A and B are shown apart, each in its own frame.
Chain A
Amino acid sequence: MSDEDSTHFGYRSVDKDAKAGLVAEVFHSVAARYDLMNDLMSGGVHRLWKRFTIELSAVRPGQAVLDIAGGTGDLAAQFAGLVGPEGRVVLADINASMLQVGRDKLLDTGRIANIEFVQADAQYLPFPNDSFDCITIAFGLRNVTDKALALRSMLRVLKPGGRLLVLEFSKPRNELLSRLYDAYSFNVIPRIGRVVAGDSDSYQYLAESIRMHPDQDTLKEMMEDAGFVECSYHDMTGGIVALHKGIKA
């Protein structure tokens, strides 16, 4: 298997064509307990990371927002309130189980008027050019097989002047924090996964995939290479997570 044909799935090297299926299995497995696991693993801090993402989105009433890998709809629910009845929010996820959980959750909270649900691959977004004022992808980019292709696809469907926000695990800045984080990720998280979601392998993959994801500056360069301008990022919780922002010229 040549380098061009392979990619990483956690620490394993797998065929590019196989990664999407393997990631899909992970999320089919965890979908039902996804929100609970996020709260347990992060101590609820993931809500703060997402809240800051909403603040930086600068979304206004009447705008169109695409939330890729939107999963259980945390961001989409907030965006639906911000864009109002004149606006439009599209919750997209490649995984049918995650989309189903997200759709059920939003429908149960009465958020239906301005939200659409689309099963879509981030690399090949099924939307016309220049469709959205803002695109977000929270904890989804590292699972995409070809990140550069996905970033170019996002650029295409953004309106000129629109912004992309990528919320993703990244590299802690402090060495001590990094060691503590590693110990927690590889020893505690898979055990929580086994007890709560009945699946430790998926959470082992989570920890590995985070380590294989590009660091802050590399992702910023990838966004610039894809054609985004005014790219910048905010480290959050010591760099465990980073929020990248890029604008379509």
Chain B
Amino acid sequence: MSAPLDPTLHTAALAALEAAINRALALTPQGGAELAPFDGQVFALHCSAPAADIYLHPGARGIRLSGVHEGPVTTSIRGQAGDFTALATSGDPAATLINGNLELEGDSAPLIELQKVLSSLDIDWEAPLVSTLGDVAGHQLAQVLRGAFSWGRQAADSLARQLEEFIHEEARLSPPRLEVEDFYGDVRELGHRVDRLQLRVERLRRQLDKLRG
């Protein structure tokens, strides 16, 4: 029985990518220590065309990549290389995830949390990748990684915007902001009029008391 792709090639690619990622993590202010809470969690990327599996093992010592993993997986994403690239480079990743062909299995919360942490690290991918892979390939991969690792931040913004539109315009669960502001303006105006009316009533009452007295 033989693996379809020579494991040497797959392992070499993963080893190079892992070295570049961990070199970049080491350059961040915390040295990648923010990944310690993810110790023991495994994130699987299953690519069907070309066939390749990548398992991410984040932890206190950085991120370990492997092509084989036997055991439970926290979150797995399945799709074709084009789908992963589209997600990584999309300006609106949430929409890409919703409308694209990627399948998400398992608990999505840790994945989103990992994305948040990685995007907050503001990693400079360029230097370690260029030194590992050369100028052209390093720069191109750095661009993809920049997109992929800022996905969490973009996804949160985009999801919030889409949710807002859905609640206001489609489900009509809540009025739009302008309508609410108009309504609050009317309420404020009504409040002022009531205050003024109350003052007039008070003044009239005092005048009546004077006339009786």
Contact = CB atoms under 8 A, between A and B. Distances in A.
Q: Do A and B make up one complex?
A: yes
Interface of A: 45, 47-49, 51-52, 55-56, 58, 60-61, 81, 232-238, 243
- Which size class do B's interface residues fall under? 10 to 19
Nearest to A58: B70
Contacts of B15: 47-48, 51
A236 B71 contact: no
B68 A238 contact: no
A55 B67 contact: yes
Given A234-B2, A234-B3, A52 B70 contact: no
Interface in B39-75: 40, 61, 66-71
Interface of B: 1-3, 6-8, 11-12, 15, 40, 61, 66-71
User: Closest 3 interchain pairs by CB?
Assistant: A58-B70, A55-B68, A48-B11
A85 B79 CA distance: 37
A236 B15 CA distance: 16
Given A52-B67, A233-B2, 15 more contacts: A45-B8, A47-B15, A51-B11, A52-B8, A52-B11, A55-B66, A55-B68, A55-B69, A56-B68, A58-B70, A235-B6, A236-B7, A236-B8, A237-B6, A238-B6
A60 B66 CA distance: 14
B71 A60 contact: yes
Contact of A232 (B1, B11, B61): B1
Contacts of B3: 234-235
Contacts of A58: 68-71
